């Protein structure tokens, strides 16, 4: 059987598109199945729909038979197009607002699979079909080489131009602050109001509980959360979620 993926650059993968080649998501692309080519196992498409609409919850790995489908989706054009639609709708909404300009209007960004892409890691680990290994994932994080998700970076820059402050809330641990800061700045996220990482006081708590509590703290300090974007429903549900939320696609993993 021929290998599913081969090395290439995003410039080749996206030749003829309007993507900025300086913002690489991955160094892999599928040999087939991109550009709208049919994927035989249609049930995997339905499974992804169930995941994105939160009808399928609590799952730990991508079904084994859907590894190829999820890989083709994440490395092909559809993932980028889906992300682009979400980011564009978020921008349309932001432009419709009357921003006070007092520095208290903030937009929440998640980090992993929202601001930064871990596709180089997941391409080597079954696109979520392999059980999550915190040790190997944290080794990847500490390299500080995660590229930006270009659609999110564009949204970030547009929001700054509208005088909206950005707050990052991530499930990464506090001891990963330095590498996360460096990684974000290296790929183009130059400034922010706050970068909130998960401290030890939240040990044993779900991401939903942690992020809700941190958003509540922001609002108690006088901030207004006008928008919130993330790839997990736990980024967007719970208390003080924001005036509007925007869900980016991610069929590779589920965080409660």
What pLDDT score does 89 carry? 98
**Angle (nearest 5°) at CA 148 between 147 and 150:** 130
Q: Return d(Cα 161, Cα 224) in angstroms, integer.
A: 18
CB 131 within 8 A of CB 61: yes
pLDDT tens digits, 89-108: 999 999 999 998 899 999 99
CATH of 42-247, one of 2.30.42.10, 3.40.50.300, 3.40.50.1000, 3.40.190.170: 3.40.50.1000
Predicted local confidence at residue 94, as pLDDT: 98
Residue that the structure tokens 């069929």 belong to: 251
Residues 6+ away with beta carbon under 8 Å from 137: 118, 121
53, 59, 62, 135 from 48: Cα distances, Å: 9, 12, 9, 27
pLDDT for position 36: 41
List of residues 6+ apart from 195 with CB closer than 8 A: 167, 168, 170, 177, 180, 181, 184
Please tell me the predicted confidence (pLDDT) of residue 9.
35
- Cα R_g (the chain), whole angstroms: 18
Per-residue tokens: 255 = 């965080």
Q: What is the reported pTM?
A: 0.85
Ranges of residues in the chain with a pLDDT under 50 are 1-24, 27-39, 41-42
- Percentage of the chain exceeding pLDDT 70: 84
Question: What pLDDT was estimated at residue 168?
Answer: 99
Residues in the chain: 256
> What is the tens place of the pLDDT at every residue in 66-82?
999 999 999 999 999 99
Backbone angles phi, psi at 164, to 5 degrees: -95, 135
Q: What is the spatial distance between Cα 250 and Cα 232, in angstroms, rounded to a whole number? A: 7
Which pLDDT does position 25 carry in this prediction?
52
Q: 195 by DSSP, 3-state: which?
A: strand
DSSP labels for 94-124?
HHTS----SS-EEEEE-SBTTTB--HHHHTT
Q: Where are the domains of the chain?
A: 42-247
């Amino acid at each position: 059987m021929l290998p599913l993926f081969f090395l290439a650059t995003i410039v080749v993968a996206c030749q003829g598109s309007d993507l900025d080649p300086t913002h690489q998501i991955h160094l892999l692309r599928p040999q087939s199945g991109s550009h709208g080519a049919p994927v035989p196992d249609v049930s995997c498409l339905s499974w992804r729909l169930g995941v994105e609409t939160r009808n399928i919850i609590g799952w730990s790995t991508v079904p084994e038979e859907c590894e190829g489908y999820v890989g083709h989706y994440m490395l092909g054009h559809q993932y980028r197009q889906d992300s682009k639609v979400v980011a564009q709708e978020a921008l349309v909404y932001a432009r419709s607002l009357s921003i006070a300009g007092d520095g208290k209007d903030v937009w929440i960004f998640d980090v992993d699979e929202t601001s930064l892409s871990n596709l180089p890691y997941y391409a080597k680990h079954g696109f979520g079909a392999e059980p999550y290994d915190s040790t190997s994932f944290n080794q990847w994080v500490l390299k500080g080489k995660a590229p930006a998700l270009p659609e999110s970076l564009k949204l970030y820059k547009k929001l700054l131009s509208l005088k909206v402050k950005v707050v990052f809330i991530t499930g990464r641990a506090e001891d990963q602050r330095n590498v996360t800061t460096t990684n974000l700045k290296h790929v183009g996220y130059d400034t922010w109001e706050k970068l909130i990482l998960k401290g030890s006081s939240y040990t044993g708590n779900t991401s939903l509980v942690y992020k809700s509590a941190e958003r509540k703290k922001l609002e108690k300090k006088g901030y207004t959360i006008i928008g919130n974007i993330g790839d997990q429903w736990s980024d967007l549900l719970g208390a003080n979620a924001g005036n509007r939320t925007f869900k980016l696609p991610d069929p590779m993993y589920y965080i409660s």
